[in-house]
């Protein structure tokens, strides 16, 4: 028996409604899929941008990883807050920080987005501490190793009695150390200092010579970037900073670096009108182990130097600046060993 006409009309209307709903659902699903695809593309683009900026420490901006490291240091109650930037450089920025007891700290954050570390191989290759290699192809790991290297160098110099900031902690590419200054005002570099008398400059020069010798003999280190920019005057005492590039004294280029350090210091103090040692004399004053070193002896030698500086001394210094310095007897030509005098052989060994 056929259903009534009214029932057939209702069934047809329901079928039409079902079809329209099905078509609408198909459109909705299609729109939903397009929306999801669009969101994925945006996410992928966002990730690519983050790889370039959010994961790199540039200028004065901290990346997300750096903020995580600082938050961990705060969570450990090592720090309570990190405030403004004290100084900036091509390799790192230094920030001022406080702990819960209002003690001041310097937080050195190495930059990880720059390529200046690619020329740092000469400070690492041939050094015993890196005999098992290092991550030269991973900038972040390379910078973290650089921060750890500075922490260890500071610790070694501090133990030897050299005035350096007290290293507190190192985490990744973040180094926490003692703040040299007061109320967020950092101590002045020697470049910024202005003494009233020449005697003060001369006494500072004697202190700097003493630091170089102590680094070489007590710490077995050569700074490799020793200049007026990396020496601070704090509480009437000369402090050494930025020792990340310092190398062991048996490094293949250690003596070359030391000669350059001596030249930098002499050039700066000469510009202040201070009497300085000749380059060759200062070099041997630092490396000569047999010399009975004291501040009084340095003052005496400096006084003798002032009284008799001739053209021969200047020529000798200019020649010494260009000569290759043999690190071992294996680097000396055999003919020179056989023809050298006893004094010359002693100087080569020392």
| Edge-to-edge strand list for the sheet holding 231-234 | 188-189, 231-234, 237-240
- H-helix segments, 100-138: 121-124
CB atoms within 10 A of CB 321: 14
Strand partners, 167: 177
Active-site residue, selected from the candidate residues 63, 242, 261, 317 = 242
Q: State how far the Cα of 217 lies from the Cα of 96, in Å rounded to an integer.
A: 33
313 is catalytic: no
Active-site residue, selected from the candidate residues 80, 125, 225, 313 = 225
The answer to whether the beta carbons of residues 83 and 95 sit under 8 Å apart is yes
Burial category of 152 from C-beta neighbours within 10 Å (exposed 0-12, middle 13-18, buried 19 and up) = middle
Q: State how far the Cα of 268 lies from the Cα of 305, in Å rounded to an integer.
A: 18
The answer to whether the beta carbons of residues 60 and 93 sit under 8 Å apart is yes
The answer to whether the beta carbons of residues 239 and 157 sit under 8 Å apart is no
**What are the CA-CA distances from residue 333 to residues 300, 325, 329, 330 (Å)?**
36, 12, 8, 8
288 is catalytic: no
Active site residues: 225, 242
């Amino acid at each position: 028996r056929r259903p009534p006409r009214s029932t057939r009309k209702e069934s047809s209307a329901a079928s039409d409604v079902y079809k329209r709903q099905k078509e609408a659902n198909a459109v909705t699903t299609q729109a939903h899929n397009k929306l999801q695809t669009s969101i994925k593309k945006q996410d992928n683009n966002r990730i690519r941008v983050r790889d370039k900026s959010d994961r790199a420490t540039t200028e004065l901006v901290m990346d997300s990883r750096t903020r995580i490291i600082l938050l961990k240091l705060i969570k450990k109650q090592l720090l309570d807050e990190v405030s403004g930037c004290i100084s900036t450089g091509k390799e790192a920025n230094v920030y001022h920080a406080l702990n819960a007891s209002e003690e001041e700290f310097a937080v050195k954050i190495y930059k990880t987005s720059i390529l200046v570390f690619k020329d740092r191989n000469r400070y690492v290759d041939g050094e015993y501490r890196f005999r098992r290699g290092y991550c030269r192809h991973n900038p972040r790991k390379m910078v973290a190793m650089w921060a750890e290297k500075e922490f260890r160098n500071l610790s070694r110099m501090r133990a030897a009695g050299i005035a350096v900031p007290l290293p507190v902690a190192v985490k990744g590419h973040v180094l926490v150390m003692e703040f040299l200054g007061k109320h967020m005002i950092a101590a002045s570099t020697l470049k910024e200092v202005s003494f009233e008398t020449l005697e003060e400059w001369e006494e500072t020069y004697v202190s700097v010579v003493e630091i170089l010798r102590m680094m070489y003999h007590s710490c077995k280190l050569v700074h490799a970037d020793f200049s007026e920019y990396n020496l601070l005057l704090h509480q009437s005492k000369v402090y050494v900073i930025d020792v990340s590039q310092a190398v062991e004294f048996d490094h293949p280029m250690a003596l070359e670096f030391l000669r350059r350090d001596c030249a930098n210091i002499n050039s700066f103090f000469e510009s202040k009108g201070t009497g300085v040692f000749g380059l060759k004399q200062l070099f041997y004053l630092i490396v000569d182990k047999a010399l009975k070193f004291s501040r009084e002896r340095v003052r005496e030698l400096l006084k003798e130097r002032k009284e008799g500086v001739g053209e021969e001394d200047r020529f000798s210094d200019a020649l010494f600046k260009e000569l290759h310095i043999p690190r071992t007897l294996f680097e000396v030509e055999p003919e020179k060993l056989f023809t050298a005098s006893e004094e010359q052989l002693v100087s080569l060994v020392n």
